[in-house]
Structure 1
Amino acid sequence: MSAPTTRPPEPTAPAAGAAAAHTAPKTGTNTAKRVAPQQLTGAQAVVRSLEELGVDTIFGIPGGAVLPVYDPLYDSQKLRHVLVRHEQGAGHAASGYAHATGKVGVMMATSGPGATNLVTPLADAQMDSIPVVAITGQVGRALIGTDAFQEADISGITMPITKHNFLVRNGDDIARVIAEAFHIASTGRPGAVLVDIPKDILQAQCTFAWPPQIDLPGYKPNTKPHSRQIREAARLIAAARKPVLYVGGGVIRGDATEELLDLAELTGIPVVTTLMARGAFPDSHPQNLGMPGMHGTVAAVAALQKSDLLIALGARFDDRVTGKLDSFAPDAKVIHVDIDPAEIGKNRNADVPIVGDVKLAITELTESLRKLGGTPKSNQDSWWEYLSGVRATYPLSYDPQHDGSLSPEYVIQQLGRIAGPDAIYVAA
């Protein structure tokens, strides 16, 4: 999943390389109609940019440096502000909003301690590939670097935990920078982006026009998987006797759950889903072995350890899954599909690396397998016999409580039955 390297805070592109010009990204129901240049305050330009991007909800707390934004925000007919009790709550709420809606989550905080309280949710969103944008107020430009009241170098602080961040230095750049922030957060491997805006820029007049021209040299996520790698992956799958589909959160981020189901049912390959991929494949499906790793099922762990081919889809070979890398799935070849080239080969060498959008990759892999006649399911008879035996010997089960109390497993099971299959569950 392609995440550009962060640089010192500037309202410029995140990396060097070939230029890629874009118009403002669309989110929500944004129609991207053209707005002629007009004079607004920087704060008004922030609100107008968010409105044009189709944002409908912002989570935040007002404070001195960001306070100018709250006047036009209060007057907005399109934006709803959710007042939280702590900036960290705003960040996690924005992340949850992005999880549930598929849109970019937006959080807002003031300078200094307000901004630093966003560090944990920004790091969390970045690690979990959740698209969020943080807008923070900053002390006036003349005070930056003087250790002014509630000044913090939030761009520098968050550089290691965001996909990119910006320090706005000119009010005329507000629309472009915010549009670029949304584009970076929501494309390639989704992630966290921060936009830091000095208070004097928010209060001063600037020129606002929409849509802005986005120019991000070097930021061009590769979404198209290489056809030769797809063919090689299909060849390995067709020849495998003990394959496993190792599914990560990238399948959910990439909206590839239907394609995964099609691939799994075509091939008959067992499926294990990481914690971030829960829900990507039906729990009730007979091919679902559950979650792998130290908190997973015995069948899922056994499948990975005994496999001769791992088809990793949007997964990063996390230590909670692998344990000691040198003893993880020792006899397995690896097909690794991910939109972030940095993830491929990072923890486990890939025999067939495929960089690209996971939805496109699964679709093309399925088509290639159909041309080969799919994976003969008879190849896996002994494999499924072994896995079924493990699953029967070590099932997920719980015994009745001796004192008559309700076990946690029973409570969750009953809640699931009552809530139905469309309910959204959150792990705290």
Structure 2
Amino acid sequence: MTTLPDLDRRTADLIDLDERFSTHNYHPLPVVIAEADGAWVTDVEGRPHLDLLAGYSALNFGHRHPELVRAATEQLGRVTLTSRAFHHDQLGLFCRELAELTGTEMVLPMNTGAEAVESALKVARKWAYRVKGVPAERAEIVVAADNFHGRTTTLVSFSTDDAARADYGPYTPGFVTVPYGDAEALAGAITERTAAVLVEPIQGEAGVVVPPDGYLTEARRLCDEAGALLIADEIQSGLARTGTVFALDHEHVTADLYTLGKALGGGIVPVSAVVGRADVLGVLRPGEHGSTFGGNPLACAVGRAVVRLLSTGEFQQRATSLGAHLHTRLSGLLGHGVAAVRGRGLWAGVDLEPGGPTGRQASEALLRRGVLCKETHGHTLRIAPPLVVEEADLDRGIDALAQVVGAAPR
């Protein structure tokens, strides 16, 4: 049960229903959201809250962006699902437009981010056997410690987070884990059996951890040298969150495969994809991989609207300019309840000083001030507002955080 004792009756009743009838695999804050628009949500009691989480980047364009709602509504009136047993009039357009936006050659549409990563791993292994010549069943994929790529059995097999991994074995073999950001360790892990290196350009769940300058460039060089693929998981970091289409773009590095999700569905429907080289994705043949809902007409229509929004560059620019403001404001809290600030664009990880509130306590205190945020790993807050947020609202959120950590008058 929630630690806040002063819940309104309707809120308490709805939370009680959740706790009685839904599995306890999440620990949500004690707020029940009923409506949302832009960067703001309204709870069942009619109270507004500033959203500084944006669905872990799934809501990059805000809640109910009118262009995305329009695309979904129009498609709902036409056709929503055919399965891939038939062609439909949105799939080819979506794949072409997404490939053009991302500078890639081919698109494998799926539904969730975890499905996209699983698909990329399958493709990388098949490519290693069919193209690179790795002996059967011997392919390895190098991954980074403290990663988060999803929660399927295979993906938690190479997680280093006990909460995500414990008690789900036996685990899928074929993964080699090295410290994140350590190019020397990465070089030592790559062998002739390496099919791919899978990396988040910025680690989100770990606390918005940015690797050292040059690390991603060196990862690209090492993959080229070894004839291995570089797979960039851009599910949280991509699609304008850091100020560019891909976070990898900040180092002018190109991956062989990218995994996309979250914001690709505009916060309306689950949409994910693997995008990349045609000679790599082209190893798949009919019947070897698929998804009933992957690339469905509704998902493609929404995805096309997302691509149109990104094609203007407006959201990349907003993430850049507002991100600079965000990091300037957060840096002003260093030494005043905040121990460290990391991130890029409109994305930040804020480590709270020992002796102050925990991440959970800070999140609950922010909730009481009308600001929604969420902790990770006990002492870190993740801040990722929708890219439509206004500077004044961003200031309101940071002012509330300053009060919570004791850096400003209450």
TM-score normalised by length of structure 1 = 0.31
Bigger relative CO (Cα 8 Å, ≥ 6 apart)? 2
Larger radius of gyration: 1
